[in-house]
Structure 1
Amino acid sequence: MRVASRLSAVFSLLGAFVATAVAMGLIVACLFLPAIGAAGQATNGGVKLFNDMPGSFAMNPLAQQSRILASDGSVLATPFNQNRIVVPFSKISTNMKHAQVAIEDERFYEHGALDSKGLFRAIGSNVFSNGTQGASTLTQQYVKIAIQNEAINSGNTAKAKKAVSRTGMEGYVRKLQQLKYAVSLEQKYTKDQILDGYLNLVYYGGQAYGVEAAARQYFGIHASELNLPQSALLAGIVNEPGNLDPFTNAKGATERRNVVLGKMYQQKMITREQMIKAQNTKIGLNPHPVKSNSCANSKYAYFCYYVISWLQTQPALGKTPKERMATLESGGLTIQTSFNPKMANIIDKQIRAKVPQGNKEGIDSAGVIVQPGTGLVLASGQNTKYSNTEGKGTSASDFTVSGRGYAYGSTAKIFAVITALENGWSPEKKIQVPVYNAESKAGAPAHAFTHDDFPGRCGLGRGEKWVLPNDKPYPQAGQDWSITDATAQSVNTIFATMVSKLGACNVMKTTTKFGVKDGYGSTISSSPASITLGTSNVTPVDLANAYATVASGGMYCPPHPVVSIKDGSGKKLNLSGTKCKRIISKKVAAQTSKIFESVLTDPKGTTHGDILLAGDRQAAGKTGTEDGSANIWFVGYTPQIATAVWVGHHGTPEYMKDVTLAGHYYKGYVFAGDLAAPIWKNIMDGALKGQPIKHFMKPDGTTPKDSPSPKTSEKTTTSNPPTYYPPPATSTTQAYTPPATTTRTYVPPSTTTTQPPKTTQPPAPTTTQPPTKTGPPKHTGPPPKTK
């Protein structure tokens, strides 16, 4: 059996030699026909085949890891399908170059594509000893591995297997082709260039492709720093990378290393003393081998996956999402993101301070910061740790940019205000509180809007009624309120009246124009409740970006996380879907900011004037509280940044009532002004610390000069419930009288807008024990409240 095996190896080597001889014009193939028997006929046919084969072969760019960078240059992740970092020849140690040549092809610098001496030596070794010595040159090996690598990267596993197959006539013809490619390489490139390509190409085990990745993986150093024993160990792995991984087979790897060192001594690359010393050196492996730096292992996993999802929309990376992902994992891209780790850490800190990770109430929270005028997403965070296994305090879902989204409540009122201003309404225009002619499910006095108020596609059907209450204590019917006061105190029925007069479809058109869509990318519901009071589900990033559009003076820029993409050669690639456009005038943007400043400054408003930013920074924003406080929001901005904060349950919506978070007991329903707004204020103070104070443009077109950054220390706020203060009566009031007869009311299943009565008593001190709970009720109760 051993003799047969050795003869088989000899015949294989002879066949390779015949083919090479023909290609090089060294000898006539027919002289070898007796030696190879029946294969001779195939060889005769192979002469013409060989001559007709294409000979062009280029050293194509190698698949290597891409880098996703934060704004400070730190690495968020290095996506790859092959962990490779290509380095120039000058950045590889001489020890490594010598070691690889010594063990793979000692006459590499002396022969061409074929080493005839090596072939005859291999034949002799295989015939007269028990060894099986190969005769392929390093150049031939490079060609074979390069073809295999290209097939793997293209997803052609069958072609990859064939590239290294040695069996059958097909394998013989393939070897002929690879041989001719090797000749082509030797004619086009220098020996150093070929060796450089080989060292960056081959697999060194341990998921390390190329010598740089291997040096980092096994020794925690660069390829330029590899010493003699380290170089010999890596060079030896190439022969059997699956078996000689030093982490799993230290003994085998050491023995192979010492063989390489012996070869280097025989070839006079090192002295005997150097060989002995290196052979007696311990391996000294890196105690902290490089782990896969994927998004899952990133400190900022959620944002990292957001980047990858966005990159899959970029045509510059390929025609399909699959092709784009392949480019990302093999193209050696440098992706510069807008991500600011300091801001992200502030978001995480402030959210978790009030809504701790894994809290017993099961309440989630998230925040995101967008830059006005660019659409760049600067930071995001949430009170969970990334994990593919959902559990308490863990989640694989990014609450800020993906998924179904959350009902956004009265933060939607900004779009009614903008529509009114675009139609020439003044911020001080008076609107009357409608009569109370109905009663909500919770027993609150309400106004029943009908088809007459909301006709058409975005309205109510004939016979339908939308019963809408205000918050307690109730503003007197018949009172005249300005748009500014109604915004500060979030009077629902006034806003419904505004939308009715403006046309619900017109307000929806404004909402859509600002990029607000449901969590799955579709248009929000066209019901009056959705358009007026935000009962559709939207993502925090879309909402933050909409408010950022106002902050910028009316320039809408699609939200995106990437500043630039460079390919492996440093060439910038075009970004798609990042162009900005003006969607409202500067005057309307300035008027809107002035109105929504009142939400923060008016002590009668939903934030009761308690969340003013440090240093008296000018800011604007809006609270949003859904039915039963299932979702609460604060979205606000300065000229520099816009931030959205959401608190609720990511899964099935549940009421937030009588809950304890971070040691604080919230009596009754948790309003946005109690929790989301203080988180927003603390995030903004931290993110803006050290930055100059910028001012909004005034409606007359002027902008005050910037002020230096305040030197005052950052302050925090307490969570006190807002107190409602109605304005003085300015017209005859109308008392509430329940309807005498039962009428059919319009109550959309998940888009209604009633809220439960709110307590006017201050919360119990944190030392007060909350009542025993049986768990929050599911979100199936009264229609949404929208403060």
Structure 2
Amino acid sequence: MEGRAQNLSHVLRLLMGLVVLGVLMGLLMAGLAIPAIGAGGSVANSSVKAFNDLPSEFAISPLAQQSKIVDSSGKQLIANPYDENRIVVPLKSISPWMQKAQIAIEDSRFYEHGGLDVRGFTRAVVSNFQSGDVQGASTLTQQYVKITMQENALRRDDEEAAQAAVAKTYTRKLQELKYALDVERNFTKDQILTGYLNLVYYGDRAYGVEAAAQNYFGVPAAKLTLVQSALLAGIVQQPTAYNPVLNPKQAEARRNTVLDRMQALGMASAKEVAAAKKVKVQDMLGNRKPPKGVCQRSSEPYFCAYMMRYLEVSPQMAILGKTPQERLKNINQGGLTIRTTLDMKLQAATLKELTRAVKIGNKSNLGAASTIIEPGTGKVLAMAQATDFGDSELNLNTDQKYGGSQYGYQIGSTAKTYALVTALESGMPLDATVNAPSASPDDPYTFYNSEMKDKCGTGPEGWRVGNDYRSGGRMSLYQMTTESINTAFAQLTIDLGACKVHETMTRMGVHEGSGKPVDQAIPSVALGAATVTPITMASSYATLAARGKYCEPSPIASITTANGKEIKVPPASCKQVIRPDIADGVNQLLQGPLKERRGTAEGSWDFSVRPAAGKTGTTNNHNQSWFVGYTPQRAASVWIGNIKVANKSGKPYTLNGKTFNEYGYKAKVFGGTVAAPVWEQIMKAATNGLPVVKFTEPSAAVKNGNYQAIPDVTGDSVSTATEKLEAAGFKVKVGGRVDSTVREGRVAGTSPDRRQAKGATVTLQISNGNSQPVVQQRPRTQAPRPTAAAPSPTAVAPTPIPQPTTAGPGPKPKPPKPTKR
């Protein structure tokens, strides 16, 4: 009885299948526009009505496809951001072998039917009702409809609709059939085949035939051979089971099935098939290019990573979406062409020069990084570093939100530039002088909080500042900049007010890698204990090159949609932050380090070719070295230093005694030792072919400042001198005693002695009664370039970098010739 029951059930399912088949065939014969006629009684009528009520218009959305990030010329590919590893290509870029193989194994009568293969469908319906399953016999067009519906649902983040698109139900199959017929009416066979081959999944994270061809064989789809095409075509049915990387035996058996089918259909000869079958699957995968992370497979991985983060989080990129997630989806799926500002020729030259000094993968804890900015626009023209992306993805050039460090590296004497800007803004003339306390490496001068004008001071124990050789006395802004005299800039910063200089730094774009302002303590402000990234320093100095206009760095030139429509990209945010004539004055002062015989970067630029300006920087213990410089058209920073700044016990590493690849062994390392010469070669490449543009001459107002003559009070009593000076509009401070022919206790002179800004402080020098005249100390010995003075332990920048309390060891006074710093 049980056997009879099973047989009866089988017969009933078969009869029902024939009824449904009759209904569907009637529908097809009537072109889907028939009324509910009797084609099998009430069941048939209701089936016809249900079928006619199904939606019939099928919308094909553009495929999610890789976007392209290209260089400034638009010709060189940097990266392909994607969610799905897919590269959409036209049918003419797909090998005829591939077209034949896919049709042979999936739908051999593809070019004959109108969306439904009647023979295959009849066989499947009968089989389904015999077994009770819902399966098979889908034409290539029906498969295209099913996968497109699933793809569109996934792009809408509609998981329920995505599951429904592939559900094994009669309702879904009927809907799929009706859509397939609509597609056949509205698209050519070649259009359908193109869509299918670009859409289907070929396993191993490869979507579409172009990505699959590159993934498995390292060739474009246009060059696929018979045996390669057969292997790919066979994967589609079961992408995991027939994955040739995971399951080569199953993949080979499936490939041979495809080859046999192609031979049976006359698509390939017996000889061609026999030769193809002899090829082992493992031998076919020798040149495969498996997909990696977007930037891991980029030719410029660090710039790629910076770009991706910039596109996701920069306010300028709100045109791509309100949130990082929305932007990333549009980037990965939209087929955008994102043209960057990156000059690939300059990028290559920059990396070449960095690696001439610091070998990638060195075991000496050495790193090097450089960013080049176009002044006045903020365009990032190059960004390179001498490290391996595979070992560390940390971008040494950029801020934390763009893939860099939350700190950066201490900038040393490059910070002195901001005191110069503040000095000229305060009215100091271009030839103003500063009375620098005398100091040497072994005899630092201590500045106390009582000398500070504002809260940006130091700890109660004072701030000890040393010079790399005995130096002090009255010196001009130009001389102290050329020779980078620490005590002179410390005194200047105190005279101006360290908080005022800090405000200048912030205004000119200086900040830590975290985006926070640098520390306000005077060691950070005056001598560069602050930690900053190379891109920030390059864009800040570019402000001077652009005559006071600061522009936020931007790597975007244009964005174009997949259909060629340009998206309007907002320009980089630019603002005039200092007066043009102030910038002109600072530009003149900063030519000294490169131009003069005693300059800290002397010999690193040929002024007979074009003018340039810049500043060296060396940090405490010779831990880091910098050169940041510019011409009117280009600004570049070069950092060369210790990637890890200190050992486990907190002791800072030093650059001294290390070997810098082609530059060789260096006993003492300053900003002018390696960083400046590397900058020179990079800047030559950056300015090659550009017209020579000179810096603008400083205005008379900047040259003369707002200084006024100081009354002569020599020989007066302190009280009388104070009255005269205060009447002239100056503040008065009583200084120390000096040798003088003036009577003891009387005023021997003032500091400064000739001019001072109205309202500024004039210091009285009091005679001690000795008959020696007042002599201003001014060193004339040739000496090595100085390093940044050490900050006080209570006034260090808020970074993990330990700050020693005294200046690092330096060369002895009066060496035979200067050393670059």
TM-score bracket, normalised by the shorter chain, equals 0.7 to 0.9
1:300 and 2:300 equivalent? yes
What 5-or-longer segments of structure 2 have no aligned partner? 399-403, 647-651, 701-752, 755-772, 779-791
Q: Deviations over 1:714-748 (max 9, x none)?
A: xxxxxxxxxxxxxxx99935899xxxxxxxx8831
Q: 2:810 aligns with which of 747, 758, 773?
A: 758
Q: Secondary structure at the match of 2:150?
A: helix
| Structure 1 residues 89 and 475: alpha-carbon distance in aligned structure 2, compared to 1, 3 A threshold | same
Q: 2:528 aligns with which of 525, 528, 534?
A: 534
Q: Which residue of 2 aligns with 1:450?
A: 449
Deviation at 1:248, TM superposition (A): 4.9
Q: Which residue of 2 aligns with 1:370?
A: 373
Deviation at 1:270, TM superposition (A): 6.3
CA contact (8 A) 2:13 2:132 kept: no
Deviation at 1:409, TM superposition (A): 1.6
Aligned length: 704
CA contact (8 A) 1:412 1:533 kept: yes
Deviation at 1:187, TM superposition (A): 4.2
| Structure 1 residues 649 and 224: alpha-carbon distance in aligned structure 2, compared to 1, 3 A threshold | closer
Deviation at 1:692, TM superposition (A): 5.2
CA contact (8 A) 2:622 2:656 kept: no
What 5-or-longer segments of structure 1 have no aligned partner? 35-39, 388-393, 702-728, 737-744, 766-785
CA contact (8 A) 1:20 1:179 kept: no
Q: Which residue of 2 aligns with 1:475?
A: 471
Q: Secondary structure at the match of 1:296?
A: coil
| Structure 1 residues 409 and 27: alpha-carbon distance in aligned structure 2, compared to 1, 3 A threshold | same
Return the alpha-carbon distance in structure 2 between the equivalents of residues 15 and 499 of structure 1. 96
Return the alpha-carbon distance in structure 2 between the equivalents of residues 699 and 530 of structure 1. 29
Deviation at 1:131, TM superposition (A): 12
In structure 2, give the amino acid aligned to 1:405. G
Q: Deviations over 1:398-419 (max 9, x none)?
A: 1111202111122112222223
TM-score (norm 1): 0.78
Q: 1:748 aligns with which of 786, 795, 810?
A: 795
Return the alpha-carbon distance in structure 1 between the equivalents of residues 208 and 253 of structure 2. 22
Q: Which residue of 2 aligns with 1:620?
A: 613
Deviation at 1:535, TM superposition (A): 1.8
Q: Which residue of 1 aligns with 2:574?
A: 580
CA contact (8 A) 2:642 2:655 kept: no
Q: Secondary structure at the match of 2:657?
A: strand
In structure 1, give the amino acid aligned to 2:396. F
CA contact (8 A) 1:447 1:493 kept: no
Q: Which residue of 2 aligns with 1:646?
A: 639
Return the alpha-carbon distance in structure 2 between the equivalents of residues 244 and 321 of structure 1. 37
CA contact (8 A) 1:149 1:160 kept: yes
Q: Which residue of 2 aligns with 1:699?
A: 698
Q: Which residue of 1 aligns with 2:87?
A: 85
| Structure 1 residues 455 and 137: alpha-carbon distance in aligned structure 2, compared to 1, 3 A threshold | same
| Structure 1 residues 46 and 346: alpha-carbon distance in aligned structure 2, compared to 1, 3 A threshold | same
Q: 1:397 aligns with which of 394, 402, 413?
A: 394
In structure 2, give the amino acid aligned to 1:469. V
Q: Which residue of 2 aligns with 1:711?
A: none
| Structure 1 residues 364 and 250: alpha-carbon distance in aligned structure 2, compared to 1, 3 A threshold | closer
Q: Which residue of 1 aligns with 2:243?
A: 245
Deviation at 1:202, TM superposition (A): 0.8
| Structure 1 residues 209 and 523: alpha-carbon distance in aligned structure 2, compared to 1, 3 A threshold | same
Equivalence map 1:428-507=2 (5 Å): 428-434=431-437, 444-450=443-449, 453-456=452-455, 459-460=456-457, 464=460, 466-477=462-473, 479=474, 481-507=475-501
CA contact (8 A) 1:21 1:28 kept: no
* 330-339 or 576-585, which deviates more: 576-585
| Structure 1 residues 638 and 350: alpha-carbon distance in aligned structure 2, compared to 1, 3 A threshold | same
Q: Which residue of 2 aligns with 1:383?
A: 386
Deviation at 1:312, TM superposition (A): 1.0
CA contact (8 A) 2:623 2:645 kept: no
1:165 and 2:167 equivalent? yes
Q: Secondary structure at the match of 2:471?
A: coil
CA contact (8 A) 1:384 1:395 kept: yes
Deviation at 1:518, TM superposition (A): 0.7
Q: Which residue of 2 aligns with 1:310?
A: 310
Return the alpha-carbon distance in structure 1 between the equivalents of residues 387 and 16 of structure 2. 60
Q: Which residue of 2 aligns with 1:120?
A: 122
* 101-110 or 1-10, which deviates more: 1-10
Deviation at 1:245, TM superposition (A): 3.1
Equivalence map 1:626-641=2 (5 Å): 626-641=619-634
Q: Deviations over 1:476-515 (max 9, x none)?
A: 34x2x22211211223333334334444343323222222
Q: Deviations over 1:63-109 (max 9, x none)?
A: 22222223463322223222221122343344443443343234434
Q: Which residue of 2 aligns with 1:780?
A: none
Return the alpha-carbon distance in structure 2 between the equivalents of residues 94 and 428 of structure 1. 78
Return the alpha-carbon distance in structure 1 between the equivalents of residues 136 and 19 of structure 2. 13
CA contact (8 A) 2:531 2:797 kept: no
1:327 and 2:330 equivalent? yes
* 354-363 or 122-131, which deviates more: 122-131
In structure 1, give the amino acid aligned to 2:640. V
CA contact (8 A) 1:471 1:757 kept: no
In structure 1, give the amino acid aligned to 2:233. A
Return the alpha-carbon distance in structure 2 between the equivalents of residues 359 and 275 of structure 1. 52
Q: 1:149 aligns with which of 136, 148, 151?
A: 151
In structure 2, give the amino acid aligned to 1:57. F
| Structure 1 residues 515 and 135: alpha-carbon distance in aligned structure 2, compared to 1, 3 A threshold | same
CA contact (8 A) 1:454 1:528 kept: no
Q: Secondary structure at the match of 1:312?
A: helix
In structure 2, give the amino acid aligned to 1:245. N
In structure 2, give the amino acid aligned to 1:194. I
Deviation at 1:322, TM superposition (A): 1.9
Return the alpha-carbon distance in structure 2 between the equivalents of residues 699 and 6 of structure 1. 100
Deviation at 1:307, TM superposition (A): 1.3
| Structure 1 residues 672 and 219: alpha-carbon distance in aligned structure 2, compared to 1, 3 A threshold | closer
Deviation at 1:428, TM superposition (A): 1.0
Return the alpha-carbon distance in structure 2 between the equivalents of residues 8 and 345 of structure 1. 75
Q: Secondary structure at the match of 2:143?
A: helix
Return the alpha-carbon distance in structure 1 between the equivalents of residues 505 and 13 of structure 2. 75
CA contact (8 A) 1:332 1:568 kept: yes
Deviation at 1:378, TM superposition (A): 2.2
Return the alpha-carbon distance in structure 1 between the equivalents of residues 628 and 465 of structure 2. 23
Deviation at 1:240, TM superposition (A): 2.0
Deviation at 1:596, TM superposition (A): 0.4
Q: Which residue of 2 aligns with 1:140?
A: 142
Q: Deviations over 1:637-672 (max 9, x none)?
A: 1233222111222234423164221484444x5322
CA contact (8 A) 1:613 1:681 kept: no
CA contact (8 A) 1:519 1:539 kept: yes
Q: Secondary structure at the match of 1:476?
A: strand
Aligned-CA RMSD value: 4.3
1:421 and 2:453 equivalent? no
Q: Which residue of 2 aligns with 1:776?
A: none
TM-score (norm 2): 0.75
| Structure 1 residues 593 and 251: alpha-carbon distance in aligned structure 2, compared to 1, 3 A threshold | same
In structure 2, give the amino acid aligned to 1:310. Y
* 651-660 or 193-202, which deviates more: 651-660
Return the alpha-carbon distance in structure 2 between the equivalents of residues 496 and 346 of structure 1. 37
Return the alpha-carbon distance in structure 2 between the equivalents of residues 87 and 6 of structure 1. 48
| Structure 1 residues 98 and 513: alpha-carbon distance in aligned structure 2, compared to 1, 3 A threshold | same
CA contact (8 A) 1:68 1:78 kept: yes
| Structure 1 residues 6 and 374: alpha-carbon distance in aligned structure 2, compared to 1, 3 A threshold | farther
CA contact (8 A) 1:361 1:659 kept: no
Q: Secondary structure at the match of 2:331?
A: helix
Return the alpha-carbon distance in structure 2 between the equivalents of residues 44 and 255 of structure 1. 46
* 190-199 or 653-662, which deviates more: 653-662
Equivalence map 1:661-676=2 (5 Å): 661-662=659-660, 664-667=664-667, 670-676=669-675
CA contact (8 A) 2:230 2:256 kept: yes
Deviation at 1:4, TM superposition (A): 12
CA contact (8 A) 2:624 2:642 kept: yes
Return the alpha-carbon distance in structure 1 between the equivalents of residues 420 and 551 of structure 2. 20
**Percent pairwise identity:** 39
CA contact (8 A) 2:88 2:198 kept: yes
* 629-638 or 547-556, which deviates more: 547-556
Q: Which residue of 2 aligns with 1:568?
A: 562
